[in-house]
Chain A
Amino acid sequence: MRPVRTSVVTAAAAVAALTAVTGCADKSDAKAGGADGSVQVTATDSACKLSKTDFPAGHVKFDIENKGSKVTEVYLLFPDDRIVAERENIGPGLKQQLTAEVKAGSYEVACKPGMKGDGIRQKVTITGGTAVKRNPQLDAAVAEYRKYAQEQADETLPKVKVFTDAVRAGDVDAAKKAFAPSRLGWERTEPVAESFGDIDPKTDTREDGLEKGQKWTGWHRLEKSLWVDGKIGDDEKALATELDKDLTDWQKRVGTAEITPTSMANGAKELLDEVATGKITGEEDRYSHTDLSDFKGNVEGAQKAYELLKPVAAKNDAALTTELDKQFASLNTLLDKYRTDKTSYDFTSYDKVSDGDRKQLSDAVNALAEPLSKLAAAVAK
């Protein structure tokens, strides 16, 4: 669980431009576009006027002026509404600039007075240069990852049911045993689950992460009952059923998550961030101390996304993938020290891991997460 949610959706929106518009860093491209003059956008409360709607591919610059009375925002959109570029919070009377590297194709410009709704749309045509081309390898990677996320959810539900059945049966020991395994699939694909915004707060919130007035539900609430109170009451049984329901919701919606190659890459990095902030300190599973099982799940999920993107990333940045292979291997080797059987997810209780060993784990996570943060760039090149 993460208190601040940089959702896959947000990430996807921000990076959509990149996956379709390759060669952003190529400055020679710049001359093709805006050099002969930028596009004037005059936004009012009822109009979104462009000085031209047909312009060359490359570096496009919009000079926006808000002549209306409401705060507005201006978007450049793909035909399917994905965002190429945006400029928010343009107050009345203000001028702002919006720039983007754009390839040939059909787009829309939207002004949103009041920053609400679909906005006032203008179709624009961008010509010249090379047309938007999809990379079939990356498309395949996304499709494969979507399948993986779905599988994880499908396989998780029965394991969750073992846990929740035990809770409903009032069997503390059986519930404790089933707790960590019930979380694995979730931990592997957490950024996808978090992208929905509403599921994670219900299932994976820690007590200190609650907002005022928010009812504490989900795994960690039950974890506390089992490990701290050592008993199961009617409330817990009801919460178990609620957890089933919320995770079924997750299972149904996984397929609809917006996933792009760069959101996959950054999602992998976010999984390591989860480890670096929540698990290394033992905060995540503070009652059960099953942090290392979650840790392993996060690493596996990150590795899955990476492996799928690797063929493309290796072509663009071979040194990076060599480094990532090495760091994934060494982190996994280190984690293996904390389980007797390499096929089991029965890890050493985290309260038995010394400060020195935690430091070593933390260093290994940093050693992997730092190069992993460069994966998105390697994929987008």
Chain B
Amino acid sequence: MSDTTDATGTGRSPSRRALLGWGGAGLALGAAAAGGTVAVVKGGGSDAVPAADTGAAVPFHGDHQAGIATAVQDRLHFASFDVTTKDRAELVQLLKDWTVAAAAMTEGKTVGEGAYGGLAEAPPDDTGEALGLRPCRLTLTFGVGPSLFAKDRFGLEGKRPEALVDIEQFPGDNLEPGRSGGDLCVQACADDPQVAVHAIRNLARIGMGKVAIRWSQLGFGKTSSTTPDAQTPRNMMGFKDGTRNVSGTDTKALDDHVWVGAKDGSAWMTGGSYLVARRIRMHIETWDRTSLQEQEDVFGRDKGEGAPVGKAKERDEPFLKAMKPTAHVRLAHPDSNDGVRILRRGYSFTDGTDGLGRLDAGLFFLAYQRDVRKGFLPLQRSLARHDALNEYIQHVGSAIFAVPPGVRDKGDWWGRGLFG
């Protein structure tokens, strides 16, 4: 693909290939100033990973959408939308408007004519809470849910990919409709929560009358890493999990397990991926009074180092048979699942406490894969049945989205392949 001028004409966006190499490509990070100078990403051989505090911008345009293989940022605001308009042209216009706004915001720019300086008696276009903040590696990733393809809606029934399945109810699921499903989704990841929230808030505002937020989830403390050298972050149970995550630099693994191929059917999805989102509530209080031995048995790792049972280091190859048959790591490992791998981008969440004084906390699980039928579904079937962790968790929200390929250039927009 070619370099293109970004939506507001400030410079050249590097190719998504280069971006894919986030972990492996050398990054010449411009000191991104407030107002959003785009850091230039150059292909190269060093292992530099942009640190959160550089405030850099992640290019918006490319073969794949940013926010999947991109090195995981610190914060999340994920939103699921219902499409309320029945007018296809109106929905298409919204997706175009969203794309322009998204491109601007990922550069650290304001939406429309900005947050001030316009007519005094009209509300400003931009809500303004991200003024003065840098781009903070904001990525906005867009997807469409199965319900959008329903008959008598937008004439998309023939375009629904087979891989965009309706996720079954697993044993133990306690799904709340108000935290599940959705016609569209936008995943906002950034190193600053205000930047991520600002992005969703402005998109929601632009969308009023055409779409309405169905549910949304804030996340912090990324629970997985797509950069293999980085330490695997700990989840709310205090454990490292997902050590064998697909790396954002592993082109082969990405092609094999994450990106939809040209031969996978549904041409409009080539270069895209399928996203499963699950809100997994943890029974924090009971977990906290569980013995260390049991905690470690449940995961199949030690709590201190994160090493698999009988090993010394986190990344030592696990010997699965040394673990209990119900150990989480054993059940989730590719070797127990015909080599299946998914790319996880989950975040911890804590939404205060529930009415019973219990911490409403857990893992907002986000997984990207080339085919859910080979990725999340068999994995979750196995976990739902056997995982010792189930005593301490409950899945309360669930959604699946087809995430189209990247927005190529200024003329392209979210969903063009689907609606075009």
- A contacts, CB < 8 Å to B: 11, 14-15, 18, 24-25, 262, 266, 323, 327, 359, 363, 366-368, 370-371, 373-374, 376-377, 380
CA distance A373 to B209 in the complex (A): 13
A80 to chain B, nearest CB (A): 19
A302 to chain B, nearest CB (A): 15
Contact A25 B209 (CB under 8 A): no
Contact B121 A367 (CB under 8 A): no
A contact residues around B121 at 8 Å (CB)? 11, 14-15, 18, 262, 266, 376-377, 380
A381 to chain B, nearest CB (A): 9
B contact residues around A370 at 8 Å (CB)? 205, 208-209
Contact B119 A367 (CB under 8 A): no
Most buried by A among B120, B121, B122, B205: B121
Contact A366 B209 (CB under 8 A): yes
Q: Mark B122-137, 1 if CB is under 8 A from A, else 0.
A: 1100000000000000
CA distance A323 to B84 in the complex (A): 14
A contact residues around B269 at 8 Å (CB)? none
A131 to chain B, nearest CB (A): 22
Contact B209 A374 (CB under 8 A): no
Most buried by B among A25, A367, A371, A376: A367
List 13 additional contacts besides A24-B119, A366-B212, A380-B119; criterion CB under 8 Å: A11-B121, A15-B120, A15-B121, A18-B119, A25-B119, A266-B121, A359-B212, A363-B84, A366-B209, A367-B209, A368-B209, A370-B209, A374-B123
B96 to chain A, nearest CB (A): 14
**Chain A binding site: helix, strand, loop or mixed by DSSP?**
helix
Residue B118, interface by CB 8 Å: yes
Interface size on B, residues (CB 8 A): 13
CA distance A43 to B6 in the complex (A): 50
Contact B209 A377 (CB under 8 A): no
A contact residues around B208 at 8 Å (CB)? 366-367, 370
A contact residues around B210 at 8 Å (CB)? 367
Q: Mark B78-92, 1 if CB is under 8 A from A, else 0.
A: 000010100000000
Instruction: Select one of A327, A366, A368, A374 contacting B122, CB under 8 A.
Output: A374
- B contacts, CB < 8 Å to A: 82, 84, 118-123, 205, 208-210, 212
B contact residues around A11 at 8 Å (CB)? 121
Residue of B nearest to A323 (CB): B209
Residue of A nearest to B113 (CB): A25
CA distance A266 to B205 in the complex (A): 18
Residue of B nearest to A359 (CB): B212
Contact B209 A327 (CB under 8 A): yes
B25 to chain A, nearest CB (A): 41
Rank and list the top 5 A-B pairs by shortest CB-CB distance, nearest first: A367-B209, A377-B122, A363-B212, A370-B208, A15-B121
CA distance A366 to B209 in the complex (A): 7
CA distance A366 to B205 in the complex (A): 9
A contact residues around B119 at 8 Å (CB)? 18, 24-25, 376-377, 380
CA distance A359 to B84 in the complex (A): 12
B contact residues around A266 at 8 Å (CB)? 121
A130 to chain B, nearest CB (A): 19
B contact residues around A15 at 8 Å (CB)? 120-121
**A373/B122 contact (C-beta < 8 A), A367-B208, A367-B209 known:** yes
Instruction: Select one of A25, A262, A359 contacting B118, CB under 8 A.
Output: A25
B contact residues around A18 at 8 Å (CB)? 119-121
CA distance A234 to B128 in the complex (A): 53
B contact residues around A327 at 8 Å (CB)? 209
B103 to chain A, nearest CB (A): 22
**A14/B120 contact (C-beta < 8 A), A327-B209, A363-B212, A366-B212 known:** yes
CA distance A24 to B118 in the complex (A): 9
CA distance A376 to B208 in the complex (A): 18
Residue of B nearest to A362 (CB): B212
A contact residues around B212 at 8 Å (CB)? 359, 363, 366-367
Residue of B nearest to A24 (CB): B119
A contact residues around B123 at 8 Å (CB)? 373-374
B contact residues around A262 at 8 Å (CB)? 121
Contact A376 B122 (CB under 8 A): yes
